[in-house]
């Protein structure tokens, strides 16, 4: 596929798409001599291009270690996770995906992943739920489905790195869910509904609240910012108070919302874990993990764990999140919450 304007001349230098012949010259030269100074390369190699153009062509297309073709599911999840932490630092993201270039990842994000997150009701910039047009109630099925992400592992054993990526994704999804709860609770009108949703006989709400400051500090310390928004102390206090009040009133307060039930996601791998209903949902969650065979992880797509845990970049973030997951936000803990949410009748006043 061609890009940009057809070959135009500027300062006598060719621009636009590279011809196979130019590619050959560039590859041959670098194979023989290395690239050395990019500025000097074109004249030395006999190319009528600027050095910058040569560098770009080499790094984005001709380099022998470049992996072409579709992104694997694990790569896709990795990009989403890394973007939540790093933002549009494409080169930093690319450093965790061997064989992928920043340009390729950037394009993939802009053309696929951005839309996918938007469809899920997640703001692709902040990775927060989009409360502008999707309120908490509407986006909950997606969040619940996403929160069950890690259950996939039971059905599709992957290599260890893929597991790690999936776990990161699950953490993100759960934090989204948690933050959404907080947002809902901050709004007095929806407090009861949300608490009814997440509460139940075995819901350990106070444990959740106890950990909010820790979640806050982990995110802040390890990322320098709060990708999901902060849990400020007064929010925690308010939540604890709300929760205590709710517990007291919960037994008698069980109105139903029969109109709002969760929807089967027939085409989603989450389907088995998501409560079903006959009512169509306001929004559909696209599958984060493709079920198509050609997207199954392959040997060559396995990501080097050493790359992922590059200590100079974001490993501390993942480690911290991992700690969080291992501890309070462990899967069984969240599964309890989610199971409760799934089985609990919905309430609206």
Compute the residue count for the chain.
Answer: 349
Instruction: Give CA 6 to chain center in angstroms.
Output: 36
Which residues of this chain interact with DNA, rule CB under 7 A?
1-6, 10, 15-18, 36-39, 51-53, 55-57, 59-61, 88-92, 102-104, 106-108, 110-112
**Minimal distance, residue 4 CB to DNA, in Å:** 4
Angstrom distance (rounded) from CA 317 to CA 82: 10
**Minimal distance, residue 168 CB to DNA, in Å:** 19
Nearest to DNA of 292, 343 (CB atom): 292
**Minimal distance, residue 54 CB to DNA, in Å:** 9
**Minimal distance, residue 26 CB to DNA, in Å:** 11
Nearest to DNA of 107, 206 (CB atom): 107
**Minimal distance, residue 139 CB to DNA, in Å:** 22
**Minimal distance, residue 36 CB to DNA, in Å:** 7
Nearest to DNA of 44, 248 (CB atom): 44
Which SS3 state, helix, strand or coil, does residue 323 take? Answer: helix
Nearest to DNA of 2, 160 (CB atom): 2
**Minimal distance, residue 304 CB to DNA, in Å:** 18
**DSSP bridge partners of 122:** 129
Nearest to DNA of 38, 333 (CB atom): 38
Which SS3 state, helix, strand or coil, does residue 13 take? Answer: strand
- The runs of H, that is alpha helices, within the chain are 20-33, 41-45, 51-57, 73-86, 90-94, 102-108, 114-119, 136-147, 152-155, 160-186, 188-198, 205-223, 233-250, 305-308, 315-326, 331-343
Nearest to DNA of 10, 259 (CB atom): 10
Which SS3 state, helix, strand or coil, does residue 240 take? Answer: helix
Instruction: Say what angle helices 160-186 and 233-250 make with each other, to 10 degrees.
Output: 80
Taking CA atoms, 161 is separated from 74, 116, 292, 299, 320, in Å, by: 9, 23, 21, 12, 17
Burial of 31 (0-12, 13-18, 19+ CB in 10 A): exposed
Nearest to DNA of 180, 223 (CB atom): 223
């Amino acid at each position: 596929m061609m890009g940009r304007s057809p070959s135009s001349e500027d300062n006598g230098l060719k621009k636009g798409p590279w011809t196979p012949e130019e590619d050959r010259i560039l590859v041959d030269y670098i194979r023989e001599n290395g690239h050395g100074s990019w500025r000097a390369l074109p004249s030395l190699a006999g190319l009528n291009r600027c050095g910058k153009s040569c560098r770009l062509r080499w790094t984005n297309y001709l380099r022998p270690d470049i992996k072409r073709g579709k992104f694997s599911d694990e790569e896709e999840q990795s990009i989403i996770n890394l973007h939540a932490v790093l933002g549009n630092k494409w080169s930093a993201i690319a450093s965790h995906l061997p064989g992928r270039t920043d340009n390729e990842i950037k394009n993939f994000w802009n053309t696929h992943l951005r839309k996918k997150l938007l469809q899920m009701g997640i703001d692709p910039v902040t990775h927060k739920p989009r409360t502008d047009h999707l309120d908490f109630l509407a986006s909950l099925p997606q969040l619940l489905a996403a929160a069950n992400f890690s259950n996939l592992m039971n059905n599709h054993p992957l290599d260890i790195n893929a597991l790690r990526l999936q776990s990161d994704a699950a953490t993100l999804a759960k934090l989204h869910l948690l933050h959404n709860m907080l947002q809902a609770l901050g709004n007095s009108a929806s407090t009861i509904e949300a608490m009814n949703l997440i509460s139940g006989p075995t819901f350990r709400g106070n444990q959740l609240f106890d950990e909010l400051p820790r979640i806050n500090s982990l995110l802040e310390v390890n990322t320098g910012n709060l990708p999901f928004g902060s849990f400020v102390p007064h929010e925690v206090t308010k939540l604890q108070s709300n929760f205590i009040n709710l517990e007291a009133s919960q037994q008698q307060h069980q109105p139903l919302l029969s109109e709002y039930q969760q929807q089967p996601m027939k085409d989603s791998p989450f389907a088995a874990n998501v409560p079903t209903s006959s009512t169509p949902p306001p929004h559909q969650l696209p599958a984060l993990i493709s079920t198509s065979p050609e997207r199954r992880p392959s040997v060559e797509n396995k990501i080097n764990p050493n790359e992922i845990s590059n200590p100079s970049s974001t490993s501390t973030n993942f480690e911290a999140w991992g700690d969080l997951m291992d501890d309070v936000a462990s899967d069984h803990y969240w599964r309890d919450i989610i199971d409760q949410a799934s089985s609990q009748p919905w309430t609206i006043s």
